A = this chain, B = another copy of it.
């Protein structure tokens, strides 16, 4: 038997056929027609699934389930409450797909939860029972596995770890609160903080050199690359991100105490440079310094995580 996994993003829809061993046997990608509204996007998802099945010479009887990772929040029944980048509100994604794929179970989960499932199925959280995923990208996403199952709370509103308040910040979060983890530890956050430092400290920095003095060109990679080369401002920005990320991670350890905490998303590509700083900072905040807590690891699945994880929602 096979599984269909769909990674629905604001710019692309990636789809794949995945086998029982969480291996992708075929994958395809199309542009997300955001401007065509939810009906247009869902139509595109249906075409993509049908074209995957055709090309793989499979029919729906060979498929166990369809899973979809969305950039938003959905109910357990697959009603998408919100997906801001797609301009969706209360879109009955599962119901619309069920009209086309009548006999197949449809699973809809937040994209960070899906990334978590992928790492659990065949990545950095394999063979663990309880794990938490943090995806550090434009925002900070969260996924939770407890006893080998996706955990998203009583109303499907849990694992929104990016909106955990961990301190007090110089600007408010999009959600209206102050101090959300994602205002400290996302790509957006490190860019905001680096720009603030550059304006305030009036120091030479490699960051500005690398962007030819065009502040608008600063991205997270430029900051991290500059930090690796020893730049003062860049390291200060990375250290601020790491400080609050470490607070967020120890909060998770104090509440959920998972076997493993997995860091994914674009920022995780900085690998051991980031991981070493995180481990060193987390060790300062541990409640019981002589007891064993979960391990912090970097995710192994990059772009394929969305397809694999959404497929494995049905396993």
A residues sitting closer than 8 Å to B (CB atoms) are 73, 81-82, 129-130, 142, 144, 146, 151-161, 163-168, 175, 177, 179, 247, 250-259, 285, 287-288, 291-294
Contacts and interface: CB of A to CB of B under 8 A. Distances in A.
A165 B81 contact: no
Nearest to A177: B285
Contacts of A164: 251, 254-255
Given A157-B291, A158-B253, A255-B255, 20 more contacts: A73-B288, A82-B288, A130-B154, A146-B146, A146-B151, A153-B258, A154-B257, A154-B294, A155-B257, A155-B292, A156-B257, A159-B257, A160-B287, A163-B287, A164-B251, A167-B167, A167-B168, A167-B179, A179-B247, A251-B251
Nearest to A130: B154
A60 to B, nearest CB: 32
A169 to B, nearest CB: 10
A287 B154 contact: no
A255 B154 contact: no
A161 B254 contact: yes
Nearest to A75: B291
28 contacts: A73-B288, A81-B288, A81-B291, A129-B154, A152-B257, A153-B258, A155-B257, A155-B292, A155-B293, A156-B257, A157-B291, A157-B293, A158-B253, A158-B254, A158-B255, A159-B255, A160-B254, A160-B255, A160-B287, A161-B255, A163-B287, A164-B254, A165-B166, A165-B250, A167-B168, A177-B250, A179-B247, A252-B255
Given A165-B250, A251-B251, A257 B287 contact: no
Contacts of A257: 152-159
A51 B250 CA distance: 43
A144 to B, nearest CB: 8
Contacts of A130: 153-154
Nearest to A257: B153
A293 B81 CA distance: 14
Most chain B CB neighbours (cut-off 10 Å) among A154, A166, A175, A293 = A154
B258 A157 contact: no
Nearest to A159: B255
Contacts of A154: 129-130, 257-259, 294
Contacts of A153: 130, 256-258
A144 B165 CA distance: 20
A129 B151 CA distance: 13
A192 to B, nearest CB: 19
Nearest to A151: B146
Most chain B CB neighbours (cut-off 10 Å) among A146, A151, A256 = A256
6 closest Cβ pairs, A-B complex: A153-B257, A158-B257, A160-B254, A154-B259, A157-B257, A164-B251
Nearest to A89: B290
Nearest to A153: B257
B259 A256 contact: no
A166 to B, nearest CB: 6
Given A146-B151, A168-B168, A285-B177, A163 B291 contact: no
